[in-house]
Amino acid sequence: LVKMVKICCLGAGYVGGPTMAVIALKCPDVEVVVVDITSARINAWNSEQLPIYEPGLDDVVKESRGRNLFFSTDIEKHIGEADIVFVSVNTPTKTQGLGAGKAADLTYWESAARMIADVAKSDKIVVEKSTVPVKTAEAIEKILIHNSKGINFQILSNPEFLAEGTAIQDLFNPDRVLIGGRDTPEGKKAVQTLKEVYAHWVPEDRILTTNLWSAELSKLAANAFLAQRISSVNAISALCEATGANVSEVAYAVGKDARIGPKFLNASIGFGGSCFQKDILNLVYICECNGLPEVAQYWKSVIQINDYQKSRFVNRIVSSMFNTVANKKIAMLGFAFKKDTGDTRETPAIDVCNGLLGDKANICIYDPQVTQDQIERDLAMNKFDWDHPTHLQPTSPMAVKKQVTVSSDAYSATKDAHGVCIVTEWDEFKTLDFTRIYEGMQKPAFVFDGRNVVNPEKLRQIGFIVYSIGKPLDLWMKDMPAVA
């Protein structure tokens, strides 16, 4: 009789939940238990209303839940029984102390490791799923070994490359799975065990094995490269506006070069999400700690351009509307950091809202997946002042209550508004009836498209004054004072 492999995953978040659900679906012979310290999250995973919105996730969870996929708060029991323990806890940017504003906060990671050492009674493979600084495996190894009571732990690095909004597709069909491990017989055996899990559905040539440090660094490097592409195209978008070039045409022409490739070249108000900024700051910190200030500065500039792009958008709105948005209703379409998710972590919408609120605008927000509560919390949140200050400060909770409303559809959000800003590229915004929207608005009526979802020419024919990132400027804006 072959023993069933048991997996326990610490952390039932955006990564732990979907990743384990897909492993359970694809590996009926593996038992998967996802545990978390937040019982509300676990309860939601066990309910009809999952804690995160992700296309296709409901079906995957329903198929395996109760069969070989379980969600539990009994962390000790399930670590105790597992052969493989994934650690997929959050690793945010430190907000206090040494490295504040840059370094990764490994508090959750360390307490997870100590818990594993405490309760383990049999040998375990411990898998780093969270994104962590290079060399974290070494620290974790030390904690485990010094507390091990004779138990054998093998540490693997298996970073996750899924993107939100497409998590299920990405997990079903990954470009690659990366597994880093020690170059010892026990290390190789552990790599092989994890490889066999993925080999249930991932072709063997897409499962890459490396040493631990390469796996850890590859994750930070991949996110830095991706974010750098967006900052590159966004930097070009500013030049397009100044010269009459069209950023979509430029990106298409550039992307036709097979060495560059066409994907991930959409100019925008700037990237958001819980990963890019955090992971680049982390990379910058590691470079500085390793005596590489030039390399650190190179990657830091990716974030600086992103901050510039967000404030440029706000400045463009205010300067176009006669240099004041005070008491004007501005409709904001979208709030999530990208389409097909309800996640608002580091969404550029927060900075754009705070910028407009600072200029005393009244904002009415519509996003198909983000709740009013979430929006109010995000806008009042005291963001840590990184060493790359944006000028877009948080708004007091009282001002948020007074100046911000949330709407349940795009038409009521835009009614009587002076301007519409599009900050998330939800598909439904492409098919809105802009004639109807125009008729309900104050005149002149403005559209500021931060995601290039509308056709500016069509909207101009209706009567709108249109700004689209990186597109030839409306005559109106050419006449306005230059944007700083």
Give, in order, the Cα–Cα distances in Å from 178 to each of 18, 126, 206, 216, 434.
17, 15, 8, 9, 46
Q: How far is 383 from 210, CA to CA, in rounded Å?
A: 37
- The span of 89-97, 148-156, 237-245, 400-408 binding ligand NAD (CB under 6 A) equals 89-97
Enumerate the known binding-site residues for NAD(+): 11-16, 36, 41, 89-93, 130-131, 164, 275-278, 345
Asked if 41 touches ligand NAD (CB under 6 A), the answer is: yes
327 binds ligand NAD (CB under 6 A): no
41 is in the binding site of which of ligand NAD, ligand UDX, none (Cβ under 5 to 8 A by kind)?
ligand NAD
Binder of ligand NAD out of 5, 7, 8, 15 (CB under 6 A) = 15
Considering only 7, 16, 68, 465, the residue that binds ligand NAD (CB under 6 A) is 16
Rg, C-alpha atoms of the chain: 24
Read off the amino acid at residue 106: L
From ligand UDX, ligand NAD, none, which one binds at residue 37 (CB under 5 to 8 Å depending on kind)?
ligand NAD
> What are 363's strand-pairing partners?
330, 404
**What residue 265 binds from ligand NAD, ligand UDX, none (CB within 5 to 8 A, per partner kind)?**
ligand UDX
364 carries an active-site annotation: no
Using alpha carbons, select from 480, 342, 347 the residue that is nearest to residue 421.
347
Supply the minimum distance, in Å, between the C-beta of residue 89 and ligand UDX.
Answer: 16
* Residues contacting residue 293 through CB under 8 Å, at least 6 positions apart: 287
Minimum Å gap between C-beta 138 and ligand UDX is 23
Least distance to ligand UDX from the beta carbon of 15, Å?
A: 8
Footprint of ligand UDX (CB under 6 A): 160-164, 223, 226, 230, 264-266, 268, 271-273, 275-276, 337-338
298 binds ligand NAD (CB under 6 A): no
Residue type, 102: K
27: Cβ contacts below 8 Å, ≥ 6 apart: 5, 68, 197, 200
Decide: 423 and 332 in contact? Cβ < 8 Å: yes
Give CA–CA dist 363/358, Å, rounded.
Answer: 11
Partner from ligand UDX, ligand NAD, none contacting 88, C-beta within 5 to 8 A by type: ligand NAD
Q: State how beta strands 84-87 and 124-128 pair.
A: parallel
Closest CA to 196 of 163, 188, 124: 188
- Which one of the listed residues 9, 240, 275, 353 is annotated catalytic? 275
Q: By rule CB under 6 A, what count of residues binds ligand NAD? A: 28
Whose CA is closest to 308, among 237, 357, 362, 254?
237
* Smallest distance from ligand UDX to CB 343, Å: 8
> From ligand UDX, ligand NAD, none, which one binds at residue 128 (CB under 5 to 8 Å depending on kind)?
none
Nearer to ligand NAD, 313 or 337 (CB): 337
Q: Which is nearer to ligand UDX, 161 or 438 (CB)?
A: 161
Window 42 to 81, contacts with ligand NAD (CB under 6 A): 75
Binding mask 215-254 for ligand NAD (x = CB under 6 A): ----------------------------------------
Look at residue 10 and give the partner it binds from ligand NAD, ligand UDX, none, a contact being a CB closer than 5 to 8 Å depending on partner kind. ligand NAD
Q: Which of 68, 90, 234, 268 binds ligand NAD (CB under 6 A)?
A: 90
Longest dimension (CA), the chain: 79
CB of 161 to ligand UDX, least distance (A): 4
Q: How far is the CB of 258 from ligand UDX (least distance, A)?
A: 18
| Position 415, amino acid | K
143-165: string of b/e by CB count within 10 Å (b at 16+)?
bbeeeeeeeebbbbbbbbbbbbb
Among residues 178, 270, 182, 186, the alpha carbon closest in space to that of 217 is found at 178
Query: By CB under 6 A, what part of segment 155-194 binds ligand NAD?
Result: 160, 162, 164
Residue 253: CB minimum distance to ligand UDX, A: 16
Distance CA 165, CA 168 (A): 8
Give, for 17, the enclosing helix (H) or strand (E).
helix 16-26
Our CA dihedral for 456, 461, 462, 468, rounded to 10 degrees, sits at: 10
- CA atoms in the 13 A half-sphere facing the CB of 482: 5
Q: Is position 342 an interface residue for ligand NAD (rule: CB under 6 A)?
A: no
Closer to ligand UDX by CB, 68 or 452: give it: 452
Q: Judged by CB under 6 A, which of 37, 151, 295, 380 binds ligand NAD?
A: 37
**In this chain, which residue has its C-beta nearest to ligand NAD?**
13
Beta strands of 120-248 (E only): which ranges?
124-128, 153-157, 177-181, 207-211
Binding-site annotation: residue ranges: 11-16, 36, 41, 89-93, 130-131, 164, 275-278, 345
Q: Minimum CB separation from ligand NAD for residue 112, in Å?
A: 4
Cβ atoms of residues 318 and 479 within 8 Å: no
Question: Using CB under 6 A as the criterion, which residues of the chain lie in contact with ligand NAD when the complex forms?
Answer: 10-16, 35-38, 41, 75, 88-91, 108, 111-112, 115, 130-131, 160, 162, 164, 274-275
Q: Which residues are catalytic?
A: 275
